[in-house]
Structure 1
Amino acid sequence: MKKNTMRYVAGLLCLALSASVLAADSFPDRRINIVVPFAPGGSTDIVTRILASKLTGELNQPVVVENKAGASGNIAGDYVARSAPDGYILFMGTSTSIANISLFKTLPFDIEKDFIPISQIVHTPLVLIANKSLAENSIEDLVKYAKANPGKLNYGSGGSGTSQHLAGVMFEQMAGVKMTHVPYKGAAPAVTDLVGGNIQIMFAPLIDALSFIRSGKVKALGLTTSKPAPQVPDVPPIATVFPGFDVGTWNGIFAPAGTPPAVVDTLSKAIVKAVSNPETKKLIEDQGSEPVGSTSAQFQAFLKDEVVLWKRLVQASGARVD
């Protein structure tokens, strides 16, 4: 009886494994959803829609965008983490997803254990912009002013714990200055207040600041990434003054843990091909971002460094969401 039971169980396991292999071999055979953790119209949503359009052709199946905003991206993350690990529901993660590990006391999912990194899609620099009336026109001059006037330099952000806030924390650490953080409910109102003169500087996502820079409504003093951005070639990296200064935002595709390796490989290869397409690259660059299109292994290695970086900056900022 025991032998028969064992054979029955072994048979069921074999059937389940065979079904899994067949499903992976036929992937994809229906629509794929990419879940965006923010509302439509933002930079993450725009990048995802650019990617989805190209992936539809690469995978010969519809790839659609599904927006599930709320709780700093945790609602969407939890939804995808609980989804079937078959490659048909994916998560568009961001640098916020990694910062949340240290920002939140508890999270409904563990992005390091409950997901498989598929590919980093883009990397977006932040740009240090200033109100036109500010006398300082370079990083060096700004630091001199900040050192002579501790706490008098106000910098805005899209909220406590955001990449804009934490870039300011990094700047304070590396420049040895003390500034005053002014959080807003989103990057857009912060940029608006900077244009109006209510705050003096801001580490803004390039995608949000580009039109203001080009129209001359603000002046750009430096980039937070280690190399120049083609959209603003005359703006120097802050790293030219403070070597090692390198922080920015990014977007990347994740699948639920347990997704078959063959499916992960199919998705990764299709994404790399889609992102490297000249038309896709131009669309992404026009948004103020840098196309990446990494492999799953490359994305995983990148994330390990990101966890360390954002943990350090969150701890230094004292930001916390309970």
Structure 2
Amino acid sequence: MRMNRRAFSRAMMLGLGSAALPLAATRGALAQGFPDRPLRLVVPYPPGGSTDPVARLLASEMQALLGQAMIVENRSGAAGAIGTENVARAAPDGYSLLLHTTAIATEPSLKSNLPYKLMTDLQPLTEAVRGSYLLVTNPRLPATDVAGLIAYGRANPGKLLYGSAGTGSSGHLIGAMFAQQAGIEATHVPYRGGGPAVTALLANEIQFVFDTVQTSRPLVLDGQLRGLAVTGDERSPLLPQVPTARESGLPEFTVDYWLGIFAPARTPDPVVQRIAAAFRDALALPNVRERLAGLGLTPVGSTPEAFTKTVQEDMDSWRTVIQRAKITLD
């Protein structure tokens, strides 16, 4: 028996519609049944670092929000690559998550041999928090503001030294960006961590460092270091007397850092949305916001779509800085 085209098309549409119903039902059931066991949140750095307090604060709220515990697991090594690869290669079921920093967006431009591809192997879930850096100098440097530091650099080409936690670290890249926008020469001195870099600054072995606000704040308040500018759009509540770089004559110099949550790529969208929503709920809790404010951090809680856009934009902007400064870790 032959079927005319109209009848055939209608039959096909009905068939496809009925086939799609079980798929939609399966996805809905997956979201409703998730999670049914504890989740793990991988931090790709050693315990006690700057990411740990945020990871443990958020994980502690997940029992009530998801009905299952979230266990923080530190997997350090290879400047964060070991923990990141561990999650990138995990089952895409939502039970293995990654808390990483802005550094994950700079690594593709610094390393050609990464064991994972950021936008292919990982799914951004939410930008959890955002914070600013602080430009600090040794008080013995004859510069009391950003304009003075730039003037000193121009009058003494090649004499300005700035330190960081190592080649390719955020402090290194921000220092390079600062020198590019200020039109000065500044030599990078890598150290084995942010602590040693600040120690060298206190000893006047180097002239400036870009550090997190909460880390250098006690030294600024004690007069051991001079805070010249914060890098965010607004002044930090922790150091309201310190102007922004924009206020200090560098209108294009705005640099924030974020901590964000990632899942393995191909994690089902209903699960992605469920986890992201739970983190947003956690970040809205008054006690969480209060704790984060004490760390100099602002809660964000973006959608997966918005965070994906943020990660891609940061990858593009830092690639330009890295290429201009000819920085590589290969």
TM-score norm. by structure 1 comes to: 0.92
| Structure-1 residue corresponding to 2:153 | 146
Offset, 1:211: 2.2
Q: Is the 8 A contact 2:158 2:186 kept in 1?
A: yes
Check the 8 A contact 1:91/1:255 in 2, yes or no.
yes
Show the counterpart of 1:299: 307
One-letter amino acid of the counterpart of residue 156, structure 2: N
Residue 310 of structure 1 is aligned with which of 315, 318, 325?
Answer: 318
Contact in 1 for aligned 2:105/2:312 (Cα 8 Å): no
Matched, 1:34 2:34: no
Deviation at 1:262, TM superposition (A): 0.9
Partner Cα separation in structure 1 for residue 68 and residue 61 of structure 2:
11
Asked if 1 retains the 8 angstrom alpha-carbon contact of 2:162 and 2:208, the reply is: yes
Q: Matched residues in 1 for 2:68 and 2:316: separation?
A: 37
Q: Deviations over 1:102-126 (max 9, x none)?
A: 1102111111111111100111211
Greater Rg, structure 1 or structure 2? 2
Kept in 2, the 8 Å contact 1:132–1:217? The answer is yes
Q: Is the 8 A contact 1:275 1:291 kept in 2?
A: yes
2:290 is aligned with what amino acid? Answer: K
User: 1:17 offset after TM fit, Å?
Assistant: 8.7
Corresponding position of 2:63: 56
Provide the residue aligned with 2:85 in structure 1: 78
Residue 246 of structure 1 corresponds to: 254
SS at match of 2:318: helix
Q: Tell me whether 35-44 or 281-290 shows the greater mean CA deviation.
A: 281-290
Q: Structure 2: any 5+ residue segments left out of the alignment? A: 1-19
Which whole-Å deviations, capped at 9, do the CAs of 1:30-78 have from their partners, x for residues lacking one?
A: 1010000100111111111111112222112111100000111111111
Q: Which residue of 1 aligns with 2:264?
A: 256
8 A contact 1:188–1:208 mirrored in 2: no
**Contact 1:118 1:295 survives alignment (8 Å):** yes
Aligned residues: 310
Residues 126 and 260 of structure 2 are in contact (CA less than 8 Å); yes or no, is this contact kept in structure 1? yes
SS of aligned partner of 2:73: strand
Give how far 1:287 is off.
1.4
Alignment check: 8 A CA contact 1:156 1:182 kept: yes
2:277 pairs with one of 269, 273, 276: 269
Contact between 1:226 and 1:245, CA under 8 Å: does it hold in 2?
Answer: no
- Quote how far apart the aligned CAs of 1:248 are: 2.6
SS at match of 1:113: helix
Mapping for residues 1-322 of structure 1, pairs under 5 Å: 22-240=29-247, 241-322=249-330
Q: Please, which moves more after superposition, 31-40 or 218-227?
A: 218-227
